[in-house]
């Protein structure tokens, strides 16, 4: 495992950021961008087949493997390998063994998201999930599209498009029987977004953004689109 600081010592003020990578450029560059987006110059630690995540198990050997003298451990660790199991273990060990409070994990297979959620590893970044979201957004008449998940708050933001068959066509927002806790937070019409009130009337072509609890999507779809 090699330590490769991008520049300097990897510290910006009091913020120390590590990116743990397997050396694959696509994986590594995505997570370097995350670190640099918060104004940090991260240190990069590349795992290899002989010296994998098990180096984290021993503070002395792990530090030596990184090419460091030891603590301080980072304020933020980003696990950016191409293996979801490695990323889970790296984040768990960093958080539970070394007290790294802030971890971000790259998810390679979106189907593994529930395992990260179960272990409380958040936030996560999934390139595949982001691409799928863009594809869904461009597919006409797709129905309900998940735009953003707020896992800690147990909420999500979804988008729906009102078409000629939608139940909500021509109705005012205040007359809709939305699922409990759900709110319409924006209506985009002809490229212009507005914050709706109870008197806002929905028209064909409107893009509706709503916030609601996960699991209530079908109920919202029935209210706004069709039974």
Domain boundary among 74, 94, 125: 125
Domain boundary among 125, 151, 172: 125
> What CATH code is carried by the domain that includes residue 77?
3.40.50.720
40 burial level (CB within 10 Å; 0-12, 13-18, 19+): buried
pTM over 0.75: no
| Local structure of 18: helix, strand or coil | strand
Range of the domain at 200: 140-224
Q: What's the structural domain count of the chain?
A: 2
In a domain, 66, yes or no: yes
**Whether residue 166 sits in one domain with residue 84:** no
**Whether residue 153 sits in one domain with residue 119:** no
Give the whole-angstrom CA distance, residue 217 versus residue 227: 12
Beta-carbon neighbour count of residue 91 at 10 Å?
Answer: 25
Give the whole-angstrom CA distance, residue 28 versus residue 22: 8
**Whether residue 107 sits in one domain with residue 69:** yes
- 161-193 pLDDT per residue, tens: 899 999 999 999 999 999 998 999 999 998 888
Percent of the chain with pLDDT over 70: 67
């Amino acid at each position: 495992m090699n330590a490769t600081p991008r520049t300097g010592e990897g510290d910006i003020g009091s913020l120390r950021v590590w990116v743990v990578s397997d050396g694959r450029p696509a994986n590594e560059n995505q997570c370097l961008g995350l670190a640099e987006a918060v104004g940090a110059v991260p240190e990069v630690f590349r795992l290899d087949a002989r010296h994998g995540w098990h180096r984290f198990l021993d503070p002395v050997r792990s530090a030596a493997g990184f090419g460091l003298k030891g603590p301080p451990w980072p304020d933020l660790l980003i696990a950016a390998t191409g293996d979801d199991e490695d990323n889970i273990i790296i984040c768990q060990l960093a958080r539970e063994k070394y007290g790294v409070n802030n971890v971000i994990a790259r998810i390679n297979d979106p189907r593994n998201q529930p395992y990260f959620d179960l272990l409380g590893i958040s936030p996560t970044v999934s390139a595949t999930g982001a691409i799928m979201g863009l594809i869904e957004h461009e597919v006409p008449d797709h129905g309900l599209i998940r735009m953003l998940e707020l896992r800690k708050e147990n909420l999500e933001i979804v988008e729906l498009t009102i078409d000629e068959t939608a139940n909500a066509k021509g109705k005012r927002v205040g007359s809709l029987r939305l699922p409990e806790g759900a709110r319409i937070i924006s209506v985009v019409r002809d490229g212009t977004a507005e914050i709706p009130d109870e008197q806002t009337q929905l028209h064909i072509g409107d893009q509706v953004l709503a916030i609601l609890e996960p699991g209530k999507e079908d109920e919202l779809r029935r209210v706004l689109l069709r039974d």
